[in-house]
Amino acid sequence: MANLFVGNLPYNMDDATLAQTFAAAGTVVSAKVISDKYSGRSRGFGFVEMSMDEESQKAVEMFNGKDVGGRSLVVNVARPKEDRPPRR
């Protein structure tokens, strides 16, 4: 299974709509739109977990750069926390 980062989401997209969108590429295990902890509004990005690596690759190919809700999605394989540079 691979976890995908999905950026530049329309602000009105919720978890269910994100899962439904990515279901076109295969079986979605989970889909989560990240919200601001104070306002509850979408932060414009989320994560989708696909059941197989092949489906994850297909999702990247299908959705990276695709216009959804007037915004061009950015989709790539999410990096584990330990691989990210430290925050300042």
At which residue do the structure tokens 């750069």 appear? 65
Do the beta carbons of residue 53 and residue 3 sit within 8 Å? no
CA distance 56 to 9: 18
- Could you tell me which residues are beta bridge partners of residue 47? 5, 32
Domains of the chain by start residue, with CATH: 2-80 (3.30.70.330)
* Confidence (pTM): 0.88
Which tens digits make up the pLDDT trace of 7-62? 999 999 999 999 999 999 999 999 999 999 999 999 999 999 999 999 999 999 99
